[in-house]
Structure 1
Amino acid sequence: MRDGVLVGGVDEAGRGSIIGPLVVAGVSIRESRIWQLTEMGVKDSKALTPRARARLFGEIMKVADSVCIRKVNPVEVDDNVSLRGLNRLEARVMAAVINNIGADEVYVDCCDVNPIRYSDYIGQYLKCSPKLHSMHHADVINVVVSAASIIAKITRDEEIQHIRSKYRTIGSGYPSDDRTMRFIRRYVAKNGNAPEFARKSWKPLRLLLEQTAQCKLRA
């Protein structure tokens, strides 16, 4: 066991959401203390109840050597999707997180079909030289990435709850959620535009806005 080695994990929450920010979180911890994450019950955030995530969030913050969180607002997501794509944006933000957690070895949950290519994307923005592992399902396989997934999920849920406190019936924020899409359709019908916390580059909303603009021209 390499007592002095810092191991990092990086994951995101909200990548596919049509409402709210994309959140990327990174956690670093001494390799000799990773067992503490396993012992406290850390696993992929999607496999945990909201109550368990909330408990683990606090415990992770206590045992981690470093935690870094980056929020990407919908406007920045839209701008980057139209220019270079979501994978490039996520790689850049993950690199910014890695630059801040000081880990010697880092595991990231890969969103690209090609993990090697995604490592290269991240490497273009790194200002440090950790040993980088880009892996599919890293949030399930690696407990440090699981810890990062919990931090990202809780942070994003707080952002969604802030929006929900004002607009109430927004659903989960994902386009597969009928409640979310009903909210967006009603908002656009009433205001003629999308809410500032929605991603206009997402196809369902983009098409809705195009239809709304065409109706205005015919009127």
Structure 2
Amino acid sequence: VAGVDEAGRGCAIGPLVIAGALFEEDTLQTLREIGVKDSKKLSPKKRLKLVEEIKEIAIDYRVYELQPWAIDHVVFRSVPLRRLNYLETMIMARLIRELHPDAAHVDPADVDNLRCAEQIQSVIRHKIDIKCEPRADAKYVATGAASIIAKTTRDQRIAELREKHGDFNSGYSSDEKTQRYIAEYFSTHNECPDFIRASWSTVQRHMKPVKQTKLTP
């Protein structure tokens, strides 16, 4: 069985990370016993400990990082977020196809669970049991494991970006320190850098009007 989840969808800074992990059915109880669950309910220290154990237990796993420029490309050129939902679903489908499970438990990007499952199945070469459910990371331990892989990967990327570009804290749009960083950045720069999502409304309000509809080269 494969679990699939993402981390960083709503962030203004950094990549959207999508992870898939494949497990034998008889190892799912082991995941529960070591404390695997929704990554948001775990401390960073606990996630870092668990992710190594998860990777050892998994038959295989995959991670895909969707960079800010790619997100901007989709959001600027289509109905806001609708195409991003589809792109994220297609990446999830690709991960599942590569893992080749008999069943997949997915925390979907699409609000329509059935449509999400149908879109994923259309990409996979063999028929499998697909469950697309909101909060799947809390319900299915394989999805919880994938959420931990995605979250720890994104946390590492954010740490690298902070080291290179300064302390913007979490990168989430709701983070006041992140918003101050973005405001201060655009007070002295005209171009949007490749680590900030120019298409996000929380970023655009700090940008000069002439730059609001341009993509990062």
TM-score (norm 1): 0.90
State the alpha-carbon separation in 2 of the partners of residues 75 and 89 from structure 1.
14
RMSD, aligned CA? 1.6
Report whether the alignment pairs 1:70 with 2:64: yes
Q: Which residue of 1 is the match for residue 89 of structure 2?
A: 91
State the alpha-carbon separation in 1 of the partners of residues 211 and 87 from structure 2.
29
Corresponding residue SS for 1:107: strand
Q: Which runs of 4+ in 1 moved over 3 A?
A: 210-214
Residue 212 of structure 1: how far off its partner (Å): 6.1
Question: CA 1:80–1:122 in structure 2 vs 1: closer, same or farther (change >3 Å)?
Answer: farther
Q: Which residue of 2 is the match for residue 217 of structure 1?
A: none
Report whether the alignment pairs 1:32 with 2:32: no
Corresponding residue SS for 1:42: coil
Q: Tell me how many residue pairs correspond in the alignment.
A: 208
Larger CA Rg, structure 1 vs 2: 1
State the alpha-carbon separation in 2 of the partners of residues 212 and 204 from structure 1.
16
Within the candidate set 131, 140, 164, 1:142 is matched to 140
State the alpha-carbon separation in 2 of the partners of residues 213 and 42 from structure 1.
43
Question: Once structures 1 and 2 are overlaid, which stretch shifts more, 63-72 or 165-174?
Answer: 165-174
Corresponding residue SS for 2:131: strand
Q: Which residue of 2 is the match for residue 205 of structure 1?
A: 203
Task: Among all aligned residue pairs of Structure 1 and Structure 2, give the percentage whose two residues are the same amino acid.
Answer: 39
State the alpha-carbon separation in 2 of the partners of residues 12 and 30 from structure 1.
21
Report whether the alignment pairs 1:176 with 2:174: yes
Corresponding residue SS for 2:144: helix
Question: CA 1:165–1:60 in structure 2 vs 1: closer, same or farther (change >3 Å)?
Answer: same
Question: CA 1:177–1:102 in structure 2 vs 1: closer, same or farther (change >3 Å)?
Answer: same
- Unmatched tracts of structure 2, length 5 or more: 213-217
Residue 121 of structure 1: how far off its partner (Å): 2.7
